[in-house]
A and B are shown apart, each in its own frame.
Chain A
Amino acid sequence: MTNIRNRLGSLPWVWSFVGAFATWLVTLVVSAGQGGGQVLTAALTFSAFTVLVSLGQMLVITSGPGNVDLSIPSVIALSSAVSMLVMNEQGAMIVPGILAAVAAGAAVGLANYGLIRVLRIPPIIATLSSSLITTSVAITIGRGLKIKPPDAFANLVTGKIAGVPLLAILALLAAIAIAIVLERTVYGRTVSAIGQSRRVARLADLRVEWTRLLTYVASAGLAGLTGALIAGFAGGNSLDQGEEYLLLTIAVVVIGGTSVAGGRASVPGIWGAALFMFLIVTMLNASGIPPGLRMLFTGLIIIAVIAIGGGEKALR
């Protein structure tokens, strides 16, 4: 028994899936088996957005203690506006629109790194202050914007193959790609290395600063892509589309089993935790618990899952 527990303990992401599955079952019970499939489809769609942004947050957190990207919501607000402006309801402009959204995100990522590196501002403050500036820009160009996404784009992001949302497939491919990057590229290994010790990594001739730069650019770039997709999904941009992703991404990364102290990423856990976080809200909504108590339960359930999963293993 302890053996099984140990083996599961070394795969911390398993618990996020256990939590997600249990939550889904409870939802089925309280809704008397109605709409289980619908819940699942909705969970896959909304989790896809969460997964895309959380993958970036995971890279940032894995790159070492103190690293976190708080600019994600503002990047989503900016990039959704940028994508709608560039697409301008023209089907032919879909790809340029997405690229522009990613580029807008990447630019913010570059600025984040610049603040951290050149001005030596701690990441939490650097990304927070850059997010204020980004939000301001997003308001300037995005307020009152009434541009609808081109039909082809809207159809694409709401589309399904064999009942599975296309977005979920995209997010799954992105997760697989990130997993490969972490395991099999110099960049990915370096992210884990600098997360364990920047000094050791530097002495082993790994490219510490270049890797940190890429990581902040990747995080904001993924947020940029997500912004475009959300605008397409929601039928246009709005400035509060990214708000929920500030703390959600951090929660998903941690529940998914990525080490908060850096050095160890857990890609499967991102999916498990994203589904889990969505399903908790669904379950509590379906069970008719008053809104005030829902928050309480959400908090308690997250604590329970992390406690059962064993949380952080001591480093040494």
Chain B
Amino acid sequence: MNPGSLAPAERTRPAAPARGSEVFVDLRGVSRNFGAVQALRPIDFQVLRGECLGLVGHNGAGKSTLMNVLSGTLNASAGTITVNGADLSGRYDVRVAHHAGVRCVFQELSLCPNLTIAENARIAHPALRGIGWRKRAAALMQGALDQVFPGHGFGMGDVVGEMPIGRRQMVEIARAFTETEDEARLVILDEPTSSLDQGAADQLIAAARRFAAGGRSTVVISHKINEILAVADRVVVMKDGTIIDDRPRAAWTRDSIVEAMGHAAERIRTTRVTTATADTVVEVPSSGSGSLAFRAAKGEIVGLAGLAGHGQTDTLLAIQSRAGGAKVSGEVALVPGDRVVDGVFPLWSIERNISARWLPDLTQGGLIRLGSERRKAQEWGARLALKTPDIRDPILSLSGGNQQKALFARALGSPATVILMDDPMRGVDIGTKQDVYAMIAKEADMGRTFLWYTTEMDELYYCDRVYVFHYGRIVKELVAAEISEDAVLRASFEEHA
């Protein structure tokens, strides 16, 4: 047990090779089919020791499939897998991968919600047994969390299910870095910061760099290009199940990555012309001393910013249920961000999931018009470029990003004039994001109001006004040109009396 594995090379390691000098993982000709669908074409893929590899690509490009093969959760249909010099093809599975030091933090969180942080450590570490395992597990997790997220404030007895999603993700990430019998030599981070606020994301990037400096490897998958550029030594771009570009970090720019992924370069700063009008449609009174009141006008895009889990979601839910003195004129629809807990009806088709919010409007003479339902769901699916062979397929057949599109369709296709968005872009690729941003601007122009909680700094630039939240209070209001990453961070970390 050594929670100090993230500390820079203070352990004596057997002839730690210089960075980039030795291949740790070597996949040759690896492919994977799902029935007739080739999710992964035969590809070669290497990760070097001490390397931090950035992996980018659109939803459905095959990134997650490749990482599932690498971590042993999916068998490759063909090809060879060599880890640390040993050919493991044919008998590679999660156990073998874990033994070889390969760990994966998945996009969909894999912690047991009914257990504490310490107890979850045991799930990954069977070696934590016998008398006093709880104490050792707590020490293990405490060490890992202290290393990755200094000042995290977790209690090791906290029950995972009672934490907001961003906090759960922090625990999940830290757990991947813990060691008992087997060392952690390669940690795969699949969309690790999708629910983290900026502060925690920066801490993770720093931790990944220290990890690499210690001769270990990481693979980071992210739709946030800035993050990839900050963390990676090398960036690999995937598209349609294959690797289409692979260059060292220095040879990339933000624009060249986006271009390689196959989408028009994203503008960092949009010059949004406000469409806000004078009619106030949402009002929430101040929640106490030092907190500002919240208001939003017709046609306005209002951002809810600050560190993750500081009351933004609560405010949105209060507005939806008109609780806490919230005054709203017009119908409200919510786009949830935590798909599994808040968004998806798992037994239903894509179509039913989309139409769930529209049913009263599809009803005539007491009966839902199935034809209109199908047409409208298809229309919204097409507008959001939802990728599916058939809209009647189960919702769970979709990738996470496409499920999210269905949730957008559910809200945007409804007659609601106020749209609440609860950090809705988790796991959504950059191309889709651009489409959704454009749609939001257009809908605002047509008089809809958007209240947008986001943990992605870039998205605040699409807002007319931003409220910064801190421990449940609104501590700052930023208007148009005042909105910047700096201003939000300053307000988030300021001491508020």
Residues on A facing B (Cβ under 8 Å): 180, 184-186, 189-190, 192-193, 196-197, 199-201, 203-206, 259, 263-264, 315-316
Contact = CB atoms under 8 A, between A and B. Distances in A.
A105 to B, nearest CB: 23
Interface in B326-344: 332-334, 336, 341-344
Contacts of B216: none
A196 B333 contact: no
25 contacts: A184-B370, A185-B367, A185-B368, A186-B359, A186-B368, A189-B352, A193-B345, A196-B345, A196-B347, A197-B345, A199-B342, A200-B336, A200-B342, A200-B343, A200-B344, A200-B345, A203-B320, A204-B334, A204-B410, A205-B357, A205-B414, A206-B359, A259-B347, A316-B346, A316-B396
B110 interface: no
A193 B358 CA distance: 13
B360 interface: yes
Nearest to A264: B347
A38 B461 CA distance: 77
A19 B410 CA distance: 41
B350 to A, nearest CB: 15
B357 A185 contact: no
B363 interface: yes
A196 B348 contact: yes
B356 A193 contact: yes
A205 B357 CA distance: 6
B211 to A, nearest CB: 32
Nearest to B363: A186
Contact of A184 (B342, B345, B368): B368
Q: Which 3 A-B pairs have the closest CB atoms?
A: A186-B359, A184-B367, A196-B345
Nearest to A259: B347
B366 interface: yes
Contact of A189 (B333, B336, B359, B396): B359
A205 B333 contact: yes
Interface string B342-384: 1111111000100011011001001110100000000000000
Contacts of B348: 192-193, 196
Interface string B65-95: 0000000000000000000000000000000
A203 B343 contact: yes
A259 B342 CA distance: 21
Contacts of A197: 345-346
Given A186-B363, A203-B342, 14 more contacts: A180-B367, A184-B368, A185-B367, A192-B345, A192-B347, A196-B347, A196-B348, A204-B356, A205-B332, A205-B333, A205-B414, A206-B356, A206-B359, A316-B396
Nearest to A189: B359
Contacts of A316: 346, 396
Nearest to B352: A189
Contacts of A205: 320, 332-334, 357, 414
A180 B365 CA distance: 13
A201 B347 CA distance: 13
Contacts of A192: 345, 347-348
Contacts of A204: 334, 356-357, 410
B346 A315 contact: yes
A184 B357 CA distance: 14
Contacts of B342: 199-200, 203
B334 A203 contact: yes
Interface in B92-109: none
Contacts of B410: 204
A159 B334 CA distance: 54
Contacts of B334: 203-205
A189 B356 contact: yes
B343 to A, nearest CB: 6
Contacts of B320: 203, 205
Interface centre among A190, A263, A315, A316 (most CB of B within 10 A): A316
Contacts of A206: 356, 359
Contacts of A264: 347
A315 B347 contact: yes
Residue among B344, B345, B346 with the most chain A CB within 10 A? Answer: B345
Contacts of B336: 200, 203
A71 B166 CA distance: 44
B258 to A, nearest CB: 33
Nearest to B420: A203
Contacts of B332: 205
B411 to A, nearest CB: 9
Among B348, B352, B356, B368, the most chain A Cβ lie within 10 Å of the Cβ of B356
A259 B356 CA distance: 20
Contacts of A180: 367
A190 B346 CA distance: 14
A180 B367 CA distance: 9
B41 to A, nearest CB: 28
A114 to B, nearest CB: 22
Interface string B11-42: 00000000000000000000000000000000
A283 B341 CA distance: 47
A142 B348 CA distance: 46
Contacts of A185: 363, 366-368
B410 to A, nearest CB: 7
A192 to B, nearest CB: 7
User: Of A185, A197, A199, A201, which is in contact with the most chain B CB atoms at under 10 Å from its CB?
Assistant: A197
A192 B366 CA distance: 17
Interface string B403-423: 000000010001000000000
Nearest to B407: A204
A203 B338 CA distance: 12
B293 to A, nearest CB: 25
B297 to A, nearest CB: 22
B346 A196 contact: yes
A314 B276 CA distance: 47
Contacts of B396: 316
